[in-house]
Amino acid sequence: MSNDQFTEIAPYYDDLMMGVPYGFWVDYVEALLERVQFTAHSVLDAACGTGNVSEVFSGRGYDVVGTDISEGMIEAANAKNSSVTYLVQDMAELNLDRKFDLAISLFDSLNYIIDVDHLGKAIKRVGEHVVDGGYFIFDVNTIYALAHHFFDQANLAPGRYPHYIWSSEYDHQTRICTVNMTFEVLDNGEPRQFKEVHLQRGHSLEELEQMLIDAGFVTVEILHAYRFRKPTRRSDRVFFVARKEGSRKEV
């Protein structure tokens, strides 16, 4: 993930995502843990953004650390003044000097890591921060979703800022989706426009499974998002539930 994304939008991100049911996402993760009969007490939220999911987990009694490569997003997270520890760290260079029962990376964060080798390193670093027998749960946008322009959307409703128009282009050879984002926000009551270009890569399920194996995980389930059934070729988002296996030498 490039650190020049989520820059100008960072102070307005929570307004942008106001309609997202963060509690529902945490409910689903907890249901996945119940499904594999695992109880977690500590959570690493890798690519935590402004910390909205971290805050929900913390409010439910978990010991939470959130990390993100974007300084602006972590600044917004720290402004919440909660008990969560937030740190600016590249997922591929995680160094927290502790391990967690559960690692999560939600809201298609792994799609933002478009370099395959870098993604493999990121998953390995996450694995080195998960206890043996612990879990890594994450979601990704599928190749189908990126290729079929699921990113194309807009909000121009009066009074509902930020306004935005997103338009995507997908390269079938590289599997890179380029999303041109135009935002309009209110600064001191005056509208201001800016643009960001976000890149996501469509990772195949097989690629991700192999990266998990290389990181010492075993894939327990791959599920259609928010459901408990296998994905289809038209699934737009999938969740991985992976368990950390023991007896691997750490780097």
Sheet architecture: strand order including 176-187: 153-155, 163-171, 176-187, 190-201
Single-letter residue type at 99: K
Residue 251 has pLDDT above 50, yes or no: no
- Which part of the chain has CATH 3.40.50.150? 10-141+204-244
Residue 6's pLDDT is: 81
**Interatomic CA distance for residues 178 and 175, integer angstroms:** 10
Out of 3.40.50.300, 2.20.25.110, 3.40.50.720, 3.40.50.150, the CATH code matching 145-200 is 2.20.25.110
Residue 157 has pLDDT above 60, yes or no: yes
- Which architecture does CATH list for 10-141+204-244? 3-Layer(aba) Sandwich (3.40)
Of the candidate ranges 71-80, 128-137, 171-180, 182-191, the one whose mean pLDDT is the lowest: 182-191
pLDDT in tens, 96-135: 999 999 999 999 999 999 999 999 999 999 999 999 999 9
pLDDT in tens, 73-91: 999 999 998 999 999 999 9
Residue 68's pLDDT is: 97
Q: Chain-wide mean pLDDT for the chain? A: 94
- Which part of the chain has CATH 2.20.25.110? 145-200
**pTM of structure:** 0.94
